Amino acid sequence: MVSTRADIRTIAEQVVRDRRHLHMHPELGFQEHQTSRFIADRLRALGIDTRAPIAETGVMGILRGRAPGKTVLLRADIDALPIDEENDVPYRSTVPGVMHACGHDGHTAILLSAAEILASRRDALRGAIVFAFQPCEERPPGGAQAMIAQGVMDDPKVDAVFGLHLSQELPVGTVAARPGPIMAAADMFRLEIAGRGGHAARPHECVDTALVAAQVMVALHAVVAREVNPLEPAVITVGQIQAGTAPNVIPDSALLRGTVRTFDPDLRQVLARRVEEVATSVATAMRATCRCTYEWGYPAVINEETQTAFVANIARQAVGETQVVTRDQSMGGEDFAYFLQRAPGCFFNVGTRNDSRGLVWGHHHPRFDIDEAALPVGVEMFVRLTEAYLARD
Ligand SMILES: [Zn+2]
Ligand SMILES: [Zn+2]
C-alpha cells in the first residue's frame, strides 16, 4: 500500500485549489446548489455511491470496502456566512455579502481529498465510509438534523462519527481533541412586553414597557449569577432590546431577544423555564404582560471518551506528540452535536492560525483567513482515523 504521507503529498495542491475555488464561490445555508454539484460530481468521478441532493442541498457518499465491517461517518459542513469579505487575496469571495468566514470551504475541500485517497485504497478496506457533506450549519435548525432524518446514518448503519473544525484559536500544525462537552447548547428567546403607552409627563397613566424591559434584563442576569453553580458553565445574554420611538413618549411595547448557552442538558431545561418565569413575573409585578417564545437551538457537542482518545492517538501519529494540544470548551454552538447524539465519535480541531503571516482574524470576521498548510493535516487525520477504525475488530 502507498504510504499515507505520499498520498497526502500528491493531493496537497488539489486540496488548496479546491478550498480556493469554494472560497471564491460561497453560498448561504440551504442555497449551496453549485457547491453541492461540485461535490457530487467529484464523488461520482471517484466511483463513490452518491446521493444528492439530500436535505435540500446536502450530498451523501458511500464507499464500500472489499469486505463487510463497521461503518464510519465523516462530516463536512458546506455553507458560508452573510459577511462581505475584506481580504485582498486572489481567491477573495466573488459574491458580494457572502463569505466563507468560518472555514467550511476548508472542511469541504479536506473531505473531498480524504474521499479521493480512501477511494483509491478501497480494495484494502473493510466496512463502509459515509461522507456527509452537510448544508447549513450556521443557522438553526441547520442541516444535520435534516440529513439524519433522511437516513444518512441508517443504511449502512453508522457505528462512529467524526468531524473536524479548522480553528483560528490554535496554531497551524496542531490538532486538538477534547473529551466530554466541548461546545454549548445554544438556544434563543424572544420576550414581547406589552404595557400602556402615553405622554412622558404622565407616567401614572401608563405602564412603561421601557422600564419593564430594563427590570427584566437585570433580573435575567441575576439567574446565572445567583442560581447556577459557579463551576458549571452557563450564559444568558440579551443581545437585542427595542422600545420606544421618541424621548417624550412612553412606549406601548418592548422587545428583548437573547440567547442561553449551557453544557448540561438538565441545566438547559432549568434555564429555559427560568427565563420565562422571571420575565413574565417581573412584567406582571410591574402591571405589564410578557409573552416568551423559546427557540431550542443545537444541543451541546459531547465527545465520547473512547473515540476521543482514539482520535488523539491518531493525531500523535499524524502531527507528532508535541503538536497535539488541548483546547478550551467554547460556548459556541455546532450541529455536529446531532450526529454525536446518534453514535459515539469525536469532533476535533485542526489549527490554522499563523501570527507571522498575519492570519490571526477569528471565525466570522470579514478578514478571516486560514493558513492552508492545515488542509493536508485535516486530510491526513480523516484518512488515518478511518483506516485505523475500520481495521479494528
Ligand atoms: Zn461559524
Ligand atoms: Zn463553523
Condensed to tens digits (0 to 9), the pLDDT of residues 292-320 reads 999 999 999 999 999 999 999 999 999 99
Q: Is the peptide bond before 233 cis (omega within 30 degrees of 0)?
A: no
pLDDT level of residue 119 (50, 70, 90 thresholds)? very high
CA of 200 to the centre of ligand 1 (A): 43
4-182+300-391 shares its CATH topology with 185-298 = no
What local confidence, expressed as pLDDT, does residue 349 receive? 98
Domain boundaries, the chain: 4-182+300-391, 185-298
Which ligand minimizes its atom distance to the CA of 78?
2
314-326 per-position pLDDT tens digit = 999 999 999 999 9
4-182+300-391: which CATH topology? Aminopeptidase (3.40.630)
CA of 278 to the centre of ligand 2 (A): 33
Both ends of the chain: CA-CA distance in Å?
A: 20
* Residues in the chain, total: 393
- Mean predicted confidence (pLDDT) in 156-171: 98
**DSSP code of residue 119:** H
Tell me the sheet residues that pair with 188: 259, 295
- Which residues are CB-contacts of 55 (< 8 A; sequence separation ≥ 6)? 134, 135, 143, 146, 147, 149, 150, 152
Q: How far apart are CA 39 and CA 387, in angstroms?
A: 22
Which ligand minimizes its atom distance to the CA of 335?
2
Which ligand minimizes its atom distance to the CA of 362?
1
Which ligand minimizes its atom distance to the CA of 138?
1
Which ligand minimizes its atom distance to the CA of 77?
2
pLDDT level of residue 156 (50, 70, 90 thresholds)? very high
- Mean predicted confidence (pLDDT) in 245-259: 98
CA of 100 to the centre of ligand 2 (A): 9
Which residues are within 5 Å of ligand 1 (an ion), measured at CB?
Answer: 102
- Which residues are CB-contacts of 235 (< 8 A; sequence separation ≥ 6)? 184, 224, 259, 260, 261, 262, 331
pLDDT level of residue 144 (50, 70, 90 thresholds)? very high
236-245 per-position pLDDT tens digit = 999 999 999 9
What residue has cell string 441508517? 154
Q: Per-residue pLDDT for 1 more than 50?
A: no
Can you read off the three cell numbers belonging to residue 352?
490554522
61: left (phi over 0), alpha (psi -120 to 50) or beta: beta
CA of 333 to the centre of ligand 2 (A): 9
Residues annotated as part of the active site: 79, 137
The rounded percent of the chain whose pLDDT value lies above 90 is: 97
CA of 144 to the centre of ligand 1 (A): 14
Is residue 143 within 8 Å of 58, Cβ to Cβ? yes
Tell me the sheet residues that pair with 75: 132, 163
pLDDT level of residue 2 (50, 70, 90 thresholds)? low
The phi, psi pair for 99, rounded to 5°, reads -150, 140
Q: How far apart are CA 28 and CA 11, in angstroms?
A: 27
What local confidence, expressed as pLDDT, does residue 256 receive? 98
What residue has cell string 461503518? 71
Is residue 291 within 8 Å of 191, Cβ to Cβ? yes
- Mean predicted confidence (pLDDT) in 177-194: 97
Q: What is the second-level CATH architecture of the domain 185-298?
A: 2-Layer Sandwich (3.30)
The rounded percent of the chain whose pLDDT value lies above 70 is: 99
Q: Per-residue pLDDT for 151 more than 70?
A: yes
Q: Amino acid identity of 356? A: S
What local confidence, expressed as pLDDT, does residue 4 receive? 86
Handedness of CA 203, 207, 212, 213 (dihedral sign): negative
257-287 per-position pLDDT tens digit = 999 999 999 999 999 999 999 999 999 999 9
- Mean predicted confidence (pLDDT) in 89-104: 98
What residue has cell string 444568558? 236
CA of 140 to the centre of ligand 2 (A): 13
CA of 126 to the centre of ligand 2 (A): 31
pLDDT level of residue 29 (50, 70, 90 thresholds)? very high
For residue 82, give the H/E element and its range: none
CA of 329 to the centre of ligand 2 (A): 15
What local confidence, expressed as pLDDT, does residue 6 receive? 87
Beta-strand ranges (E) seen in the chain are 49-54, 58-64, 67-77, 126-134, 160-171, 175-176, 180-183, 185-194, 198-199, 234-243, 249-250, 253-262, 289-298, 301-303, 324-325, 345-353
Indicate the average pLDDT of the chain. Answer: 97
CA of 137 to the centre of ligand 2 (A): 7
Q: % helix / strand / coil in the chain, to the nearest 5? A: 40, 30, 35
211-230 per-position pLDDT tens digit = 999 999 999 999 999 999 99
Can you read off the three cell numbers belonging to residue 250?
412612553
- Mean predicted confidence (pLDDT) in 231-236: 96
Is residue 281 within 8 Å of 244, Cβ to Cβ? no
> How far out from the chain centre does Cα 104 lie?
9
> How far out from the chain centre does Cα 279 lie?
30
Helix (H, G, I), strand (E, B) or coil at 209: helix
Q: What is the DSSP string of 220-232?
A: HHHHHHHHS-TTS
The phi, psi pair for 188, rounded to 5°, reads -130, 150
Q: How far apart are CA 366 and CA 137, in angstroms?
A: 18
